[in-house]
Structure 1
Amino acid sequence: MTMTKAGEAEVAMQSLMEAGARALHGDDGAWPARRRRIIDWLVLETRGERFIDNIFVEMCRKLVEAGIPVARASLHFRIHHPQWLGARILWRKGLTEAEIDTYAYGVEDTSQYLNSPLRGFNEGAEEVRRHLDDPAADGPDYPLYDELRADGLTDYIIWPLYHTLGKRHAITFASDRPGGFSPDDTAFLMDILPALALVSEIRLKNRFARTLLETYVGPHASEQILAGAITRGSGVTVGAAILICDLRDFTRLSDLWPRDDVIDLLNGYFDALSEPIERHGGEILKFMGDGLLAIFPLSDPCACGNLLGAIGEAQVALARLNEENVSKGHDPLGYGIGVHVGDVMYGNIGSHKRLDFTVIGPAVNIASRLESLTKELQHPVLLSRAFVERAGCAATLENLGFHPLRGLDEPVEVFALSGSK
């Protein structure tokens, strides 16, 4: 059968393209060598980089240098965080930094997620792929695909990124080359995934350990623990303004209210207190049932003023919370706050196997006794003379005189916030 000139030209062009691909992809070993360099870099040369987003950006840059037509890539991690279900790290060609977005719990019920290719992937698919420049391509045409086409992208792939014990995250790659990724391109990309999985899992678990500590002991104590303060008795003496708060009649409320309402009550109460404390530089060391212990280290010259500012904002927030409780038919919440200043031992206390990172000392005891005294004196906030002198705020407070405190030989001069009875 005689071939037409058009057919001969097509065969010649195909042969030329195949020769170019062989030259680029590795009959001479160049393609495997480029892939090996990226894998070796991931495994051996990223040890000094703490953040996975920086590693991911550099990896994408190296892929482009190696001839892989990656124009967009993203990592999607499920993370252990009290506020966020997951996070996305997004890189685009030409950028030197990644975009990082977090996703709140409940995102999987939103239309944005339900109308995205990640939904199908999370339902168990090992690959989701769309040739964006092929109008006849099979499968649903998600809104994301229109956005990618508008950005000039031609191919989009989602693959799993497996961590230990089958923990499954996602990685995406998109191309802007006509026709998208070739089989050699996808093989190249898939070959580097095990190394990226190893590197990303280490960073993710390091971040998880830090988040876990910050969640349960606070940012300052977590830094101490991560720096090696993990033996019983390890710690330092620090000067601090101390705040102890307790919810009134919690036992009665927990007996009368449904369980879920009690949990909502406590969460709202702690939000009203915690957010102002943290915003003003305080460190919440522990929640004690319906109580809270926080310190404002005196290394900050404004510590006492910051504590007073936090109390003022917390009282406004608690008043709003009580308005909501009353509108629901509940009694308003009462509370007591005791404030003192002094040296505290800040460190690890407990048994051989179970430790608590906290503060102890006479100054903490006095703050606790002042909090208890609020019930007797019918003032929600009581402050010691020592704190008032340190803060220089006596003129704005009500002097309630001297009062005996349990465990102390001498009575303590006590002040209350004016008008807060």
Structure 2
Amino acid sequence: MRLNTTLAWLVDAAAEAAGAGELLAELGAHLVADGLPLAGGALTLAVPHPLIARRTWLWRAGRGEVIEGLGFAAAGLPATDLAGDAGLRWLESVAAGPAHEDAVGPGPDGPMLAWIGPRPFMPHEARDLREAARFTAAPLAALAAKATLTAALEAYLGRRSAARVLAAPLRRDEGETIAAALLYADLRGFTALSESHPPAEVVAALNAWFDRIAGAVHAFGGEVLKFIGDGILAIFPVGAGTPCAACEAALRAACAARAGMAHLDDERRRQGLPPLPFGAALHLGEMFWGNIGAADRLDFTAIGPAVNLVSRLEGLCRPLGKTVLASGALAAETDVPLVALGSFALRGIAAPCAVFAVPESP
């Protein structure tokens, strides 16, 4: 058999690939080296993601490059089960023109591997691809499990926090001190809203609010760390340079959220629903970013004086009649014009805090 080297790699090393795209590229390169006429390939995995059902990687043989897309249009291809007990299906179809596609996978909800050549595959080439497909089942299962874990953690923790959890031991006190611009935002009057409206309407309002505020945070490079009831805590980590970029990203996110909520409130009024006023506070400081909790039940979060201050600062939004406030620490690191409101005592914070308002027109 010509595939001894490829099959040995699939058994011994393929599951250690850095990701699905890397596995596809390495497998394609092995098969080309074995003399199979491949022009490209595609690999699709189902993932438990709130927005994405499947992820697809496309490989081009000539350049060896891999790009990622969403979904894979394999519906309608006639299927025959030729993969034996590996649990994979071989999908075969003649593409438009001289190209020929062969795909392997258990259907739209499972892994799907597809190849395209410059001409229809010969019977012995199809046999070799079927044999390689059988051996690909195990490393694909390992990669799918890894992708599932990563997608689940990112959905619940955020991308940076998920990567930190995966890279560190699952123990209390595992973490690090980081500097970041913090954003804390909270709906006003939410208790009254929840008391006077059906649960379905309350959940819909919460989701609409979180869409606007979290969407703005993510758009400017931040990460949502916590949903706390109707509140949200987000961070914009300071990189290798000065804090200016993180602070200005947090400011832009707050202004974008304010604009998004204004549009949402207009829509709610047209539907006869009450608006959703909110307050947001911004601060710059250091915090512990890592694991806390019981011996066998952990939470990944941020704690420290900076977190306490930003949450207390948000409490001034209502009495000061402002939607977005910033601390003096954050204001000192940005060139964005802010309106000084004076120094205020914050509950539980020893020193008064210089408070600035973010103008309505950023």
Q: Indicate whether the TM-score tops 0.5.
A: yes
Could you tell me how far apart the structure 2 residues matched to 1:264 and 1:240 are? 31
Task: For structure 1, list consecutive stretches of 5 or more residues without a partner in the other structure.
Answer: 1-31, 133-147
Q: Which amino acid aligns with 2:251?
A: L
Structure 1 residue 407 and structure 2 residue 352: aligned?
A: no
Query: Does the C-alpha gap of structure 1 residues 60 and 238 become closer, same or farther in structure 2, counting only changes over 3 Å?
Result: closer
Whether contact under 8 Å (1:398, 1:418) holds in the other structure is: no
Q: 2:309 aligns with which of 366, 382, 386?
A: 366
Could you tell me how far apart the structure 1 residues matched to 2:210 and 2:347 are? 27
The match for 1:331 is 274
Could you tell me how far apart the structure 2 residues matched to 1:44 and 1:247 are? 53
Q: Which amino acid aligns with 1:315?
A: R
Could you tell me how far apart the structure 2 residues matched to 1:391 and 1:90 are? 42
Structure 1 residue 149 and structure 2 residue 96: aligned?
A: yes
Query: Deviation of residue 86 (structure 1)?
Result: 1.0
- CA deviation string 1:59-112 (max 9, x = no partner): 234334434444554323212222211123334553522343213xxx9xxxx7
Q: 1:232 aligns with which of 157, 168, 172?
A: 172
Alignment of 1:61-140 (within 5 A): 61-91=29-59, 94-103=62-71, 116-117=76-77, 126-130=89-93, 132=94
Query: Does the C-alpha gap of structure 1 residues 157 and 241 become closer, same or farther in structure 2, counting only changes over 3 Å?
Result: closer
More displaced stretch, 372-381 vs 405-414: 405-414
- Among all aligned residue pairs of Structure 1 and Structure 2, give the percentage whose two residues are the same amino acid: 32
Query: Deviation of residue 254 (structure 1)?
Result: 2.9
Q: 2:256 aligns with which of 290, 299, 313?
A: 313
The match for 1:169 is 111
Q: Which amino acid aligns with 1:42?
A: L
Q: 1:186 aligns with which of 120, 126, 133?
A: 126
Query: Deviation of residue 385 (structure 1)?
Result: 2.9
- CA deviation string 1:164-198 (max 9, x = no partner): xxx843333455546x431x433322222232112
Task: For structure 2, list consecutive stretches of 5 or more residues without a partner in the other structure.
Answer: 82-86
Name the TM-score, length of structure 1 as normaliser: 0.73
Q: Which structure dedicates a bigger proportion of its chain to helix?
A: 1
Provide the aligned C-alpha RMSD in A.
Answer: 3.1
Q: Which amino acid aligns with 1:82?
A: P
Structure 1 residue 204 and structure 2 residue 144: aligned?
A: yes
Query: Deviation of residue 238 (structure 1)?
Result: 2.5
Whether contact under 8 Å (1:398, 1:417) holds in the other structure is: no
Name the TM-score, length of structure 2 as normaliser: 0.84
Q: 2:329 aligns with which of 386, 402, 417?
A: 386
- CA deviation string 1:320-341 (max 9, x = no partner): 1212212222121100112233
Alignment of 1:206-355 (within 5 A): 206-299=146-239, 300-301=241-242, 302=244, 303-355=246-298
Query: What SS does the aligned partner of 1:339 have?
Result: strand
Could you tell me how far apart the structure 2 residues matched to 1:262 and 1:349 are? 31
Query: Does the C-alpha gap of structure 1 residues 161 and 198 become closer, same or farther in structure 2, counting only changes over 3 Å?
Result: farther
Q: Which amino acid aligns with 2:136?
A: L
The match for 1:26 is none
Which protein has the larger Cα radius of gyration, Structure 1 or Structure 2?
1
Query: Deviation of residue 228 (structure 1)?
Result: 1.1
Could you tell me how far apart the structure 2 residues matched to 1:248 and 1:417 are? 18
Whether contact under 8 Å (1:161, 1:197) holds in the other structure is: no
Query: Does the C-alpha gap of structure 1 residues 66 and 234 become closer, same or farther in structure 2, counting only changes over 3 Å?
Result: closer
Q: Which amino acid aligns with 1:404?
A: A
Query: Does the C-alpha gap of structure 1 residues 40 and 236 become closer, same or farther in structure 2, counting only changes over 3 Å?
Result: same
Query: What SS does the aligned partner of 1:405 have?
Result: coil
Could you tell me how far apart the structure 2 residues matched to 1:390 and 1:40 are? 56
Whether contact under 8 Å (2:56, 2:68) holds in the other structure is: yes
Query: Deviation of residue 404 (structure 1)?
Result: 3.0
Could you tell me how far apart the structure 2 residues matched to 1:362 and 1:216 are? 24
Q: 1:50 aligns with which of 14, 18, 42?
A: 18
The match for 2:84 is none
Query: Does the C-alpha gap of structure 1 residues 344 and 73 become closer, same or farther in structure 2, counting only changes over 3 Å?
Result: closer
Could you tell me how far apart the structure 1 residues matched to 2:66 and 2:359 are? 51
Could you tell me how far apart the structure 1 residues matched to 2:59 and 2:249 are? 40
Query: What SS does the aligned partner of 2:111 have?
Result: strand
Query: Does the C-alpha gap of structure 1 residues 196 and 316 become closer, same or farther in structure 2, counting only changes over 3 Å?
Result: same
Query: What SS does the aligned partner of 1:117 have?
Result: coil
Query: What SS does the aligned partner of 2:332 have?
Result: helix
Could you tell me how far apart the structure 2 residues matched to 1:51 and 1:419 are? 45
Query: Does the C-alpha gap of structure 1 residues 82 and 118 become closer, same or farther in structure 2, counting only changes over 3 Å?
Result: farther
